[in-house]
Amino acid sequence: MKRILLLLALFLAFALPTMAGFCTNCGANLPDDANFCSECGKKQVKEQVESAVENTDKSKLEQIKEKFRQKKEKAPEIEVFRAKTDIYLYEKRGDEKDVLKKNLFFKPRRYRMKRNSSFKILEVVGQSYLLQSIPDKEGRTLQGWVTEEQLALRSNWTKKD
């Protein structure tokens, strides 16, 4: 049985590279270097398709690079804020609103950002803010969600309209 599987694998390994192309008209298997289909006789236009694909890939790559350059130039300055008191950051968005809902199955994971620590706002979703602390002397950072109300109450951040 092992010999049969080995022979089949060897046959497929040698047969597939020679029959890797398909006719664009009838779909018949063709060798890679075939210029005409052996079934319907239609000329194969493989080189034009490959060059067109390469050109579109290059143009897309250039567009992506240009967008990256524009974003880099237009990157807004991220404001840094300071915590007046301890701020509790929650691991998942939504947990910061359900703090009072404590039971056996719901115990939100939270992190304490100490008083006078600096932080920046990464994302705003509704009235929830994703904060990230500025690395301390040991290089540790905290990241988590907090409500708009708690953020205004416990830091020097103010809502901009």
pLDDT band at 143 (very low <50, low <70, confident <90, very high): very high
The pLDDT of residue 74 is 47
34 CB burial (10 A radius; 0-12, 13-18, 19+): middle
Backbone angles phi, psi at 143, to 5 degrees: -145, 135
**Greater pLDDT, 76 or 1:** 1
**Greater pLDDT, 89 or 59:** 89
Backbone angles phi, psi at 8, to 5 degrees: -65, -40
The pLDDT of residue 1 is 73
CB neighbours of 108 closer than 8 A, spacing ≥ 6? 90, 91, 92, 95, 96, 98, 99
Least confident of 38-47, 118-127, 136-145: 38-47
For residues 89-101, give the mean pLDDT.
Answer: 74
The pLDDT of residue 46 is 53
Whole-angstrom distance, CA of residue 44 vs CA of residue 62? 30
Least confident of 31-45, 55-69, 100-114, 117-131: 55-69
CB atoms within 10 A of CB 120: 13
Contact (Cβ atoms closer than 8 angstroms) between residue 36 and residue 43: yes
